[in-house]
Structure 1
């Protein structure tokens, strides 16, 4: 899978997270509002993806997905904190679970599908 495909799928995950979060707190899910919530994680995701590319590591494996998840979560929270946004423990936990489940989950599913295609199943 090409790096831009994995970046696109991870970007969808981040935007979905921001949209659901805004809706669950009674905030508007308009594009500007979603981007206002998502931008620290988008920047973090882009940085981690670029780092993996620079190290010539595949971005679509579940193991490297762990790095994408941890980097997106960690650096995204760091950016939020440095911009004066909330990083309460409950937010970090919910973000970690949601982003981890989807960012690693789609990689596991893709790997299994690829293995099935490769073995003729």
Structure 2
């Protein structure tokens, strides 16, 4: 009997994890700038990045024929999240602070690529036992 893949390798679960982490990123950003932590405020801040995340997922699916469950495709999701999120922010706000781009890119890389790397490593270690 074949062993079931880990729960996080389910595309629906993985997409929800990415979306929740983008919401966490937005909430942390709002808190660090003393903006209100309301559901509508966090969603408004996160929405350009959530669009980027969804586009990244669709891009990986279209180009690879698979879902971005591994670190490599996760990099594409991260890049799309940052690039499209920033482009939409510029379109709406009309400006962009480069310090924000750097911090957002680093935090989102840690979140969107980091969870894939950690769970891949943990799964590989438990398979060796």
Is the pair's TM-score, using the shorter chain for normalization, greater than 0.5?
A: yes
Structure 2: segments with no counterpart, 5+ residues: 1-8
Select the structure with the greater relative contact order (CA < 8 A; seq sep ≥ 6).
1
SS at match of 1:83: helix
* Superposition deviation, residue 15 in structure 1: 0.4
* Higher CA-based Rg: 2
* Superposition deviation, residue 86 in structure 1: 4.4
Aligned to 1:92, which of 89, 94, 101? 101
TM-score in terms of structure 1 length: 0.92
Counterpart check, 1:71 vs 2:74: no
* Superposition deviation, residue 83 in structure 1: 1.2
Counterpart check, 1:10 vs 2:22: no
Structure 1: segments with no counterpart, 5+ residues: none
Q: CA RMSD in A?
A: 1.3
* Superposition deviation, residue 118 in structure 1: 2.4
SS at match of 1:81: helix
Aligned to 2:90, which of 81, 90, 94? 81
Counterpart check, 1:112 vs 2:109: no
- How many residues were matched structurally? 120
Equivalent-residue separation in structure 1 for 2:103 and 2:112 (angstroms): 14
TM-score in terms of structure 2 length: 0.87
Kindly report structure 1 stretches of 4+ aligned residues shifted beyond 6 Å: none
Equivalent-residue separation in structure 2 for 1:49 and 1:100 (angstroms): 15
* Superposition deviation, residue 57 in structure 1: 2.8
- Residue deviations 1:46-96, cap 9 Å, x none? 111112122313311111111111110011101111112542001001101
Summarize the alignment of residues 48-67 of structure 1 with structure 2, pairs less than 5 Å apart. 48-55=56-63, 56-67=65-76
